[in-house]
Chain A
Amino acid sequence: MANKRATIDEALDRLEPGMTIGIGGWGSRRKPMAIVRALLNSTLHDLTIVSYGGPDVGLLANSGKATKVIAGFVTLDSIALDPLWRQVRQRGGVDLTEVDEGLFYLGLQAAAWRVPFLPARAGLGSDVLERNPHLKTVANPYMDGPYSEPEDAQSVFVAMPALRLDAAFVHANAADTAGNATFTGPDPYFDELFLGAAALRVVTAERIVDEGTLDTVGPLAKATVHRLLTDLVIETPNGAHFTSCAPDYERDEAFQKAYVTAAGDPELWQGFVDRYLAGNEAQYQAALAQDREGSK
């Protein structure tokens, strides 16, 4: 059996400038932040980020690593708006394709199922279509037949195109060495679809266990990432910080607040970058440990 364990650096070595990268989680919840931090310090550029946006999107767009973003929102959940995202948008510094969050789901699903689009009502009449002329509609092909209700005989639907990804990164509560993974929290979000939509599929996890032992971490029904969906697994303890990773840990609200405060002031922000983001993941975690020590 292949052992899919890898390091953050090994995963990033497989990326190239200009790639389209999917990032799992939702808002400020279970984001693969160890990867986001590594991307910030990489030599990659001109990335397109596809995400149910949280701090990952603000950080990558504001730093200039991402020049394009496909998203339905960017939020920190307990704090509605991410100042970095507001800044980059308000200076016109990023190319945004904004889609309804349900269309986003269908785009990932279409890519994972290898069909060019999936239809939906969502988007009809809204500026999602007006602002994205590359999004097309499709006429009901069953207008005359028994499959269509008469009310929809003349309807057109949004044909949400497949969101094909060069790489996807998701963060799990646990993975095994073979590439299976489990989300023991309340919501798997769309993480299996991100993996299904991508050419390079990477799972970071709080811990990596032996193959066949994920059922000791939680019910096997929660282990919804199977090894057909993964290429690499990377152990990144506390790797979703400061976003939530229930039940392992909740969002670090104090840290998120400090991030927001710093992001609103260029001088404070440079200090935040120097303290937390300039180094590697081990240095980030060491800085957090130092903070905890200092607050005792």
Chain B
Amino acid sequence: MTEPTRAEVCIAALAEVWRDAGEIMASPFGSIPMIASRLAKRTFSPDLVLTDGEAAIIVGAPPINTSPQDLVREAAVPYRTIFSVVWSGRRHIVMQASQIDRFGNQNLSAIGPPNQPKVQLIGVRGAPGNSVNHKTSYWVPDHSTRTFVEAVDTVCGVGYDRAAAAGSGATRFHDLPRVVSNLGVFDFSGPNHSMALVSVHPGVTVDEVVAATGFELQLDSAVETPWPTDDQLAIIAELDPKGARDREIRT
């Protein structure tokens, strides 16, 4: 077999966030998370609920470049319904983060002062609500000290420290299972739910991850991220025949 690409390692790692998830909505943001959700549905989580990215639940896990008219839809989920799903908790989202900090606070709104940001990004979107209502994991395709920061400039997705400070209304359903970057896999098993290195991707050293991270990581138990299996690689190739996965991360 040929050696898997970094993108394929990330896809297999991200698919794991939905292992044994049962009948919940998987909401992936980005090509690699989207391929990962479909890989999970094709293999170990067949009951996952996927959408067309617009307003319907789709049948199966077709290739990500399937044209809209070729998708088979089974139910309507306009945005109003999506909020009902969010607030019911039956969802695990993988959002991206322009910044993420040690306790899992995430920023996709703006870099710099709130009234006159240095860089205006897309906005808080649904991140505040997602992160206190259902499982929220993150995908960061460009791991660096600019993205893994000591403190985010705007708290959109809520981290463990901020959720705790806001009380039981925020913590009751707050759960950040995983962060996957182009360098490794992380969780919040460190002291006070701080970020810990779970694994480094093949070809990446722990030192590289530490150098690219703007805060102290818990490093106790880092292993190597498993390679995707041959079966997984075959499915990934089928889900992404045009190689969108290799355009999403720097190699």
Given the known interface contacts A122-B129, A125-B132, A155-B168, the answer about A75 and B122 at a Cβ–Cβ threshold of 8 Å is yes
Given the known interface contacts A152-B172, A156-B167, the answer about A89 and B125 at a Cβ–Cβ threshold of 8 Å is no
Whether the Cβ atoms of A127 and B123 lie closer than 8 Å is: no
Whether the Cβ atoms of B116 and A156 lie closer than 8 Å is: no
A interface bracket (residues with beta carbon within 8 Å of B): 35 or more
Interchain CA distance A271-B116 in the complex, whole Å: 27
Whether the Cβ atoms of A125 and B123 lie closer than 8 Å is: no
A188 within 8 A of partner (CB):
yes
Residue of B nearest to A149 (CB): B172
Interchain CA distance A229-B55 in the complex, whole Å: 24
B158 within 8 A of partner (CB):
yes
A92 within 8 A of partner (CB):
yes
Number of interface residues of B (CB under 8 A): 48
A286 within 8 A of partner (CB):
no
Residues from chain B with Cβ under 8 Å of A249 in the complex: none
Whether the Cβ atoms of B158 and A98 lie closer than 8 Å is: no
Residues from chain A with Cβ under 8 Å of B76 in the complex: 186
Residue of B nearest to A109 (CB): B80
What's the nearest-Cβ distance from chain B to residue A182, in Å?
A: 14
Given the known interface contacts A98-B123, A125-B132, the answer about A105 and B80 at a Cβ–Cβ threshold of 8 Å is yes
Given the known interface contacts A102-B129, A124-B132, A187-B55, the answer about A73 and B123 at a Cβ–Cβ threshold of 8 Å is yes
Interchain CA distance A128-B128 in the complex, whole Å: 8
Against A, the Cβ 8 Å flags (1 = close, 0 = not) of B68-92 are 0000000010111001001100000
Whether the Cβ atoms of A100 and B110 lie closer than 8 Å is: no
What's the nearest-Cβ distance from chain B to residue A170, in Å?
A: 14
Residue of B nearest to A85 (CB): B120
For A127, give its contact among B155, B169, B173 (CB under 8 Å). Answer: B155
Whether the Cβ atoms of B169 and A152 lie closer than 8 Å is: yes
Given the known interface contacts A124-B166, A126-B162, the answer about A189 and B78 at a Cβ–Cβ threshold of 8 Å is yes
B223 within 8 A of partner (CB):
no
Whether the Cβ atoms of B120 and A121 lie closer than 8 Å is: no
Residues from chain A with Cβ under 8 Å of B3 in the complex: none
Interchain CA distance A152-B128 in the complex, whole Å: 19
B118 within 8 A of partner (CB):
yes
Interchain CA distance A56-B116 in the complex, whole Å: 20
What's the nearest-Cβ distance from chain A to residue B161, in Å?
A: 9
B154 within 8 A of partner (CB):
yes
Interchain CA distance A102-B157 in the complex, whole Å: 13
Interchain CA distance A26-B124 in the complex, whole Å: 15
From 151 to 202 in chain A, residues with beta carbon under 8 angstroms from any chain B beta carbon are 151-157, 186-190
Interchain CA distance A73-B29 in the complex, whole Å: 16
Residues from chain B with Cβ under 8 Å of A100 in the complex: 124-129
Whether the Cβ atoms of A152 and B168 lie closer than 8 Å is: yes
Whether the Cβ atoms of A126 and B120 lie closer than 8 Å is: no
Between-chain CB contacts (< 8 Å), 12 pairs: A73-B123, A73-B124, A75-B122, A98-B109, A99-B124, A100-B129, A102-B86, A121-B132, A122-B87, A127-B154, A152-B169, A186-B54
Instruction: State the A residues within 8 Å of B (CB).
Output: 26, 53, 71-75, 80-81, 85-86, 89-92, 95-96, 98-103, 105, 120-128, 130-131, 140, 151-157, 186-190
